[in-house]
Amino acid sequence: AHKEAMHRPRRFQRASFGMPPWLEGPVRRSRGYARRGGRLLPMSPFALLLFAFFASAPAPNLSPPGWWCRGFPRKRYGSFAEVELLSQLGALLCPEMPLEEMFRSFPGKDLPDWGGHYLSPDLVLWGVLKDPEAALFIEYDGFYRHFEPRGVAADRRKTRALLAYAPAGSRVLRVSHEEREVDDLAESLVISSWWPQHRKSLTASLLEVVQFLLGVPSLGLRPDLVEDLKRCREKDFRLSEAASLFSCNATLAGNPGAKLAELKDFLISRGLGEGEVAKGLGLSDNEVAKAVSRFPQLLGYSIGENLQRSVNWLKGLGLSDSEVAKAVSKYPQSFGCGSVSNSLEPMVSWLVCIGASRLDIKHLIRRFPIIMSLSLSRNLRPKMQLLRQYFSLADALALVVADPRIFSYSASRLHERLALLASREQLVNFSAALRMTESSFESRYGVQTCKCLHWLTFETFEVLMSVHSVQDIQNDGLFGKKEFKVKASFNWSNTETSGTQDMRWEQTKKLEIPQGAAEGIISLWSLGTIKDSKVASYSLDTKKDMLDKAESFFGKKQKLKLQYKGKTVGTLLITFRKRGKGEGDIGDCPIDGIDEDSPLLIDINNAIQEMVKKKELQPLQKGEKLDGERKIAVLAKTLQGDLREIDLEGTEKGKVHVRTIYCNFAELKGDDMKE
């Protein structure tokens, strides 16, 4: 009866008056926490005297820790089995804490190797370990996907994220029904399966968890909690009625009916009638199930965290309630694209920068709400840059405002049809041609012309472009020496160097050559106070100059003749390298810990080749890694010479010369250090 009554939800105030653990149980029972036959036991005079004595002692600080306060209770749970087991376990380990507080989500955007906006452990408790600030996370891995390789990797990543978020001394316990390989950072427990809402089998599974907790002292449970668990194991253990009721009333993430009802209530709260909502949603239970199967993330959206903020933001743009309700019902995935400040506002700022009015933005969102879920960096901006190769900025903007579905087509489709229509001087028919099927487009404009574009002659590949210097260019201006930079553009993929005055860069940039990029433009720009001006440029044919001459092009320093109005005005020294095993391609990195796409890898490979030629280093075998003194020698060779310091904004701050020497550690002490 004592254990049963302890499961009543109320605020977490364990031992709110300072007393030793051995008196906590008697006083708790004397204060009416125990029930017998449905009535409270009266407080005895002895217990009253003890209470008055210990109430005068200073109360310990038992306020929730900071990491706990940064979280919030979640409203949905993964499965009924998860909430049925963990609610009973939470009521057993921490009876004073409300059950709904144990199922929490925490901010996870800043956690390394996590990537999600929120981190949601299955169950989390505080105050149950010897360290009162530490957390105990309990994960239930009963679903079959937890035993697949991807599921195991995801569980390991979540374990690392949980321990990175919580303070030192926190522990992770993973409960499953089969043995599997888990990392050493979490404790693993295998328990028997139970039937849903079957008290006897669930009790047996809970006792297996209790037995495990008592048999692993390294978990660091509080001594008084250990004694309570021993009494539960030795006496007749009974399930918590409060936890059973909690699990029966829990809203599961996979319940389409509950999600639809919540969505209806939200739309009605926005001022719409039930008839309008029913007409706007127009979904039967079967259609909801189909929508969930096509877009499962819909079930994880929160009314308060996703829909409410997005709807308020849309109404600020001038959309009516009915237009907002239509957008929510038809394109719910658009409201899970992240916070307003991280996704929606940057999109509007970009549209304003390219000249869109408030009315244009309202028209775009009203006609094509799914634009709110499209990536600005991977979709909207690259496709607009592709349109600007064939239209002016004003014409391209007018085109997408009139037909915003342009952003829903693939970049390859856009590029192919733009190039063909431009060659036929029929860009005025672009919107209509874009909507045509492949067969209709080919029969209308001719398939032979499509093939001559070499669209499918090569796949997208990445290169590292090393810009060395420019020769024969005057850099004297009216106010002293000018600053110059180099830009490279292959369709929507582009990059540029930082500015320099001595016409030498020695900078390496990563550049993607997209499929269908027939040519690339390498240009030299003069930096101005108001705007930059193009000095000269060079057109590089992707197939003819790069791919067909791969052996003599990649990995070799090229001299590109920069031209302006048909006249050569300078020579740009530049080197292209691409990933692979061919001549001039970048091989595997021989030193661990270096990004394989970084410019440092190029300098390391060059230093190794130079040291091998001078017989300072033995040739490396395929896949061989450098370590010890050989690694130090290669790094020393790489980092010596003239280095250029550039700040985070790309501005050059000066040069420094580095020389590396070999010496003993003792020579770095005393007077020898100066020499």
610 in any annotated domain: no
Q: b/e per residue, 356-382, with b = 16+ CB within 10 A? A: beeebbbebbbebbbbbbbeeeeebeb
CB count within 10 Å of CB 623 equals: 8
Q: What region does 390 belong to: left with phi over 0, alpha with psi -120 to 50, or beta?
A: alpha
Tokens of residue 144, six digits: 């079959």
Instruction: Work out how many domains the chain is built from and give that number.
Output: 4
H-run or E-run covering 642 = strand 641-646
Tokens of residue 254, six digits: 């996979």
Instruction: Calculate the CA 326 to chain-centre distance.
Output: 29
646 in any annotated domain: no
CA distance 225 to 207: 15
- Res 333: pLDDT: 55
Question: Looking at the structure, do residues 179 and 261 belong to the same domain, yes or no?
Answer: no
What's the alpha-carbon Rg for the chain, to the nearest Å? Answer: 34
Candidates 393, 398, 466, 406; CA nearest to 432 is 406
Question: Looking at the structure, do residues 306 and 234 belong to the same domain, yes or no?
Answer: no
Q: Are 441 and 413 in contact (CB under 8 A)?
A: no
Q: Can you tell me whether residue 632 is helix, strand or coil?
A: helix
- Looking at residue 373, which CATH number applies to its domain? 1.25.70.10
CA distance 430 to 444: 13
Question: Looking at the structure, do residues 101 and 235 belong to the same domain, yes or no?
Answer: yes
Domain boundary among the residues 249, 284, 300 is at 249
The sheet with strand 135-140 has its strands ordered as 123-126, 135-140, 171-176, 187-190
CA distance 102 to 261: 25
- Res 181: pLDDT: 74
Question: Looking at the structure, do residues 353 and 421 belong to the same domain, yes or no?
Answer: no
Question: Looking at the structure, do residues 487 and 552 belong to the same domain, yes or no?
Answer: yes
CA distance 605 to 69: 50
Domain residues for the domain of 428 are 411-452
**39 DSSP assignment:** E
Pairing, β 504-513 against β 461-471? antiparallel
Q: Can you tell me whether residue 498 is helix, strand or coil?
A: coil
Domain boundary among the residues 249, 279, 307 is at 249
> Measured between alpha carbons, how far is residue 623 from residues 190, 229, 410, 551, 598 in Å?
40, 54, 38, 23, 18
Report DSSP letters for 592-616, one per residue: TTS-TTSHHHHHHHHHHHHHHHTTS
Burial class (CB in 10 A: 0-12, 13-18, 19+), 516: buried
Domain boundary among the residues 203, 233, 249 is at 249
Q: What is the mean pLDDT of each run of 10 residues along the chain (675 residues)?
A: 43 40 41 36 47 43 83 82 89 90 89 83 92 92 78 88 91 87 82 83 89 87 90 82 83 54 55 48 45 47 54 71 64 54 75 85 80 81 87 88 87 84 82 83 63 55 88 64 88 84 84 81 88 88 86 90 87 84 59 74 83 88 84 89 76 81 75 67
Question: Looking at the structure, do residues 96 and 225 belong to the same domain, yes or no?
Answer: yes
Question: Looking at the structure, do residues 287 and 199 belong to the same domain, yes or no?
Answer: no
Tokens of residue 378, six digits: 């991977």
660 in any annotated domain: no
CA distance 251 to 98: 17
CA distance 310 to 196: 38
442 in any annotated domain: yes
Question: Looking at the structure, do residues 288 and 353 belong to the same domain, yes or no?
Answer: yes
72 in any annotated domain: yes
Question: Looking at the structure, do residues 240 and 265 belong to the same domain, yes or no?
Answer: no
- pTM, whole model, 2 decimals? 0.38
Question: Looking at the structure, do residues 116 and 239 belong to the same domain, yes or no?
Answer: yes
Helix residue spans in 178-320 (DSSP H): 199-215, 223-234, 241-249, 256-269, 274-281, 285-294, 308-316
621 in any annotated domain: no
Looking at residue 190, its amino acid is: V
Question: Looking at the structure, do residues 221 and 329 belong to the same domain, yes or no?
Answer: no
> Measured between alpha carbons, how far is residue 338 from residues 267, 317, 368, 375, 609 in Å?
20, 18, 18, 11, 48
Angle at 160 between CA 156 and CA 163, to 5 degrees: 135
- Res 234: pLDDT: 80
Burial class (CB in 10 A: 0-12, 13-18, 19+), 470: buried
Looking at residue 100, its amino acid is: E
- Res 53: pLDDT: 45
Candidates 99, 101, 41, 111; CA nearest to 72 is 101
Sign, CA torsion 220/221/227/230: negative
- Looking at residue 560, which CATH number applies to its domain? 2.60.40.150
Question: Looking at the structure, do residues 336 and 421 belong to the same domain, yes or no?
Answer: no
308 in any annotated domain: yes
Sign, CA torsion 111/112/118/122: negative
601 in any annotated domain: no
Tokens of residue 104, six digits: 């929490």
N-to-C CA span, the chain: 82
Report DSSP letters for 340-382, one per residue: IIIIIHHHHHHHHHTT--HHHHHHHHHH-GGGGGS-IIIIIHH
3-state SS track over 156-205:
HHHHHHHHHHCCCCCEEEEEECCCCCCCCCCEEEECCCCCCCCHHHHHHH
